[in-house]
């Protein structure tokens, strides 16, 4: 009978340790699986249309475009923050090269940075902003968009 109690106790301890390990691993697992189901907003940049997924929560912004192997040519992700601040982005666990436009409250692009996959290099806005739009690398440059260009249709005032 004593051996059965010890075995049951050992199984319970092993189960608790396994649950604890899986709980701790959840964020790492989430970074290996692209997030889906985010709302999509249509933005305009000159004559170009963008279909941008909207990342509004801390968790959505933290995961961003991690683990994606590709993105459609006019697709992107818009990160929405509660308050304007200097926003800095990196590319840990992000597999595709991206360009990020830091966008002011009125939809004006403040600055654009080019980012390499799987890099911890920090890329920051030159002024406080509430919005960051990530697109495939070179998207803005190929369309002649730069600091001072204006986006429309987003969460900013019309």
Measured in degrees and rounded to the nearest 5, phi and psi for residue 83 equal -130, 150
Could you tell me if 48 and 16 lie in one domain? no
**Do 125 and 91 belong together in one domain?**
yes
- Choose among 130, 149, 148: nearest CA to 48: 149
49 phi, psi to nearest 5 deg? -100, 145
Q: What is the end-to-end Cα distance of the chain in Å, rounded?
A: 75
Q: Residue 84 domain-assigned? A: yes
Q: How many domains does the chain have?
A: 2
pLDDT mean over 62-78: 96
Read off the pLDDT band of 154 (50, 70, 90).
Answer: confident
Question: pLDDT confidence of 157, banded at 50, 70, 90?
Answer: low
In a domain, 67, yes or no: yes
Same domain, 44 and 98: yes
Q: In this structure, is residue 50 part of a structural domain? A: yes
pLDDT value at position 31? 58
Q: Taking 50 as the threshold, does the pLDDT of residue 137 lie above it?
A: yes
Position 5 pLDDT exceeds 70:
no
Place of tokens 């902003």: 129
In a domain, 157, yes or no: no
**Ranges of H-type helices in 33-104:** 58-63
Residues 65 and 115 in one domain: yes
Cβ atoms 47, 144 nearer than 8 A: no
| 119, 146: one domain | yes
108: which residues sit within 8 A by CB, 6+ positions away? 148, 149, 150, 151
Averaged confidence pLDDT in the chain = 85
Q: Is residue 132 part of a domain?
A: yes
Indicate whether 15 and 52 sit together in one domain.
no
- State which residues form the domain around 106: 40-152
Q: What value does the mean pLDDT take over residues 122-126?
A: 98
Task: Tell me whether residue 158 is in a domain.
Answer: no
CATH number of the CATH domain containing 146: 2.60.120.1140
Question: Is 96 found in the same domain as 47?
Answer: yes
Q: What are phi and psi of 18, to 5 degrees?
A: -65, -45
């Amino acid at each position: 009978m004593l051996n059965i109690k010890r075995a049951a106790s050992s199984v319970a301890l092993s189960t608790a340790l396994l649950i604890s390990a899986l709980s701790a691993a959840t964020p790492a697992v989430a970074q290996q699986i692209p997030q889906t189901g985010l709302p999509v907003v249509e933005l305009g940049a000159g004559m170009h249309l963008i279909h941008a997924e909207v990342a509004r929560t801390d968790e959505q912004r933290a995961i961003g475009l991690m683990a994606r192997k590709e993105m459609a040519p006019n697709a992107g992700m818009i990160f929405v923050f509660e308050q304007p601040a200097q926003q800095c982005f990196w590319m840990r666990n992000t597999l595709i090269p991206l360009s990020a436009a830091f966008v002011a409250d009125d939809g004006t692009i403040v600055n654009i940075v080019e980012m390499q996959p799987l890099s911890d290099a920090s890329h920051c806005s030159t002024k406080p902003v509430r919005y960051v739009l990530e697109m495939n690398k070179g998207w803005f440059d190929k369309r002649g968009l730069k600091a001072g260009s204006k986006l429309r249709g987003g969460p900013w005032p019309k």
